[in-house]
């Protein structure tokens, strides 16, 4: 069985200062997919991760202090693929894939559209391009675990105030519709497979004491190909873990 964690760390260096390595040693996941590392390779203390038992792979954005993804793994992957082969997304370090036999684990960081119309348009374009890319990838790699920050709440249950946020990026009708059709294209939301309870969130604003009051959004997912559902053991959100404005999500699966 493998324990796979996905975690938007909102800056790897900041998360390390808040005790990320000690937490990793304690929880001891097999694979960790990180998003928003906000660091260049030379700024990352890779030895700290090696010492914790992880082979580590980093795919930073070209722009300093921005975006970027990583995969930490106990087992050497058969193959690593950096990016999607689409320059405008790869320059932002949004997609990193590790192949283990017939299963592929991806750390993915969807764009946010919250800074304005231009980035929202970029996000909508990404959604179309990502779906197209995954449709093609599935032909050669049908067993996918797509772990990351999707920057979308799918249903009203996934956000603390669906009425007020109905016209806010991350909960727009077209984004939610995309998520529905993405799941319908052959994926399962591993957390919702086990848990249909409200008030389960993975991100909280730093404003208005939102985390203490649990006024959150569920935007971090470990989506799995439907072919893997029978191998699922457990999926959890870990809101008590606080190295970031996000919390980690955990998946346990046979492979």
Has residue 38 got a pLDDT over 90? Answer: yes
Has residue 214 got a pLDDT over 90? Answer: yes
Dist CA 70 CA 59 (whole Å): 6
Average pLDDT over residues 71-92: 98
Full strand arrangement of the beta sheet holding 249-253: 55-59, 69-73, 31-35, 2-8, 249-253, 232-237
Proportion of the chain above pLDDT 90, given as a percent:
99
3-state secondary structure string across the chain: CEEEEEEECCCHHHHHHCCHHHHHHHHCCCEEEEECCCCCHHHCCHHHHHHCCCEEEEECCCCCCCCCEEEEECCCCCEEEECCCCHHHHCCCCEEEEEECCEEEEEEECCCCCCCHHHHHHHHHHHHHHHHHHHHHHHHCCEEEEEEECCCCCCHHHECCCCCCCCCCCCCHHHHHHHHHHHHCCEEEHHHHHCCCCCCCCEECCHHHCCCCCCEECCEEEEEEHHHHHHEEEEEECCCCCCCCECCEEEEECC
pTM comes to 0.98
Q: 64: how many CB neighbours lie within 10 A of its CB? A: 11
Dist CA 170 CA 123 (whole Å): 10
Q: Which of 78, 91, 117, 149 is catalytic?
A: 149
Q: Which residues contact 102 (CB under 8 A, 6 or more apart)?
A: 141, 142, 143
Over residues 91-119, the pLDDT tens digits come to 999 999 999 999 999 999 999 999 999 99
So where are the chain's domains? Answer: 2-253
Q: Sign of dihedral through CA atoms 244, 144, 100, 232?
A: positive
Dist CA 134 CA 157 (whole Å): 26
Has residue 32 got a pLDDT over 90? Answer: yes
Q: Residue 255 has what pLDDT?
A: 85
Over residues 135-187, the pLDDT tens digits come to 999 999 999 999 999 999 999 999 999 999 999 999 999 999 999 999 999 99
Nearest CA-CA partner of 7 in 253, 247, 252: 247
3.40.50.720, 3.40.640.10, 3.60.10.10, 3.10.580.10: CATH of 2-253: 3.60.10.10
Using pLDDT thresholds of 50, 70 and 90, give the confidence band for residue 56: very high
Average pLDDT over residues 14-28: 98
The residues facing 145 across adjacent strands are 105, 224
Over residues 57-75, the pLDDT tens digits come to 999 999 999 999 999 999 9
Q: Residue 128 has what pLDDT?
A: 98
CA distances from 122 to 35, 69, 233 (A): 18, 18, 36
Average pLDDT over residues 118-128: 98
**Annotated catalytic residue 149:** yes
Mean pLDDT of the chain: 97
Dist CA 146 CA 20 (whole Å): 22
């Amino acid at each position: 069985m493998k324990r796979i964690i996905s975690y938007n760390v909102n800056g790897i260096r900041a998360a390390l200062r808040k005790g990320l390595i000690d937490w990793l040693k304690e929880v001891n996941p097999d694979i960790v997919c990180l998003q928003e590392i906000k660091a260049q390779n030379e700024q990352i203390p890779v030895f700290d991760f090696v010492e914790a038992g992880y082979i580590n792979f980093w795919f930073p954005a070209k722009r300093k202090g921005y975006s970027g993804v990583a995969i930490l793994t106990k087992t050497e992957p058969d193959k690593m693929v950096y990016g999607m082969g689409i320059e405008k997304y790869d320059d932002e370090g949004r997609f990193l894939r590790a192949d283990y036999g017939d299963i592929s684990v991806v750390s993915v960081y969807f764009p946010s559209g919250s800074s304005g119309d231009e980035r929202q348009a970029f996000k909508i374009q990404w959604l179309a391009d990502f779906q197209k890319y995954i449709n093609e990838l599935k032909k050669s790699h049908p067993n996918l675990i797509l772990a990351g920050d999707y920057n979308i709440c799918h249903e009203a249950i996934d956000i603390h105030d669906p009425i007020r946020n109905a016209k806010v990026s991350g909960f727009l009708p077209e984004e939610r519709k995309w998520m529905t059709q993405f799941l319908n294209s052959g994926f399962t939301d591993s957390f919702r497979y086990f848990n249909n309870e409200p008030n389960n969130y993975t991100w909280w604003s730093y404003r208005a004491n939102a985390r203490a009051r649990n006024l959150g959004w569920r935007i971090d997912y470990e989506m799995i190909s439907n072919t893997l559902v029978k191998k699922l053991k457990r999926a959890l959100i870990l809101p008590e873990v606080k190295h970031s404005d996000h919390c980690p999500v955990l998946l346990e699966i046979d492979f």
